[in-house]
């Protein structure tokens, strides 16, 4: 019987990631009043992650259209 029969034949990736960990740290520091930053600065990692994803999607779409 092969190892692929259990559906676990390849590497899997997942988890929270860098921006998620950074976001949790900043929110915790803000709620514990360790930092007095405005909420838009605390939530900036979300926007950076979304921005990088949007740029990647635009690049893929442009590459697909030029193909």
Two structure tokens written together for 62: 């442009």
Residue 44 covered by a domain: yes
What is the domain extent for residue 34? 18-66
pLDDT class for 9, splitting at 50, 70, 90? low
Overall domain count for the chain: 1
Residue 23 covered by a domain: yes
Residue 9 covered by a domain: no
Residue 61 covered by a domain: yes
Residue 6 covered by a domain: no
Q: Is the pLDDT of residue 23 over 70?
A: yes
Please report, rounded to a whole number, the percentage of residues in the chain having pLDDT higher than 70. 81
Residue 34 covered by a domain: yes
* Cα 55 off chain centre by: 13
């Amino acid at each position: 019987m092969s190892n692929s029969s259990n559906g676990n034949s390849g590497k899997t990736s997942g988890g929270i990631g860098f921006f998620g960990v950074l976001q949790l740290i900043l929110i915790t520091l803000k709620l514990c009043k360790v930092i007095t930053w405005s909420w838009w600065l605390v939530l900036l990692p979300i926007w950076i992650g979304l921005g990088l994803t949007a740029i990647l999607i635009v690049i893929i779409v442009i590459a697909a259209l030029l193909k």
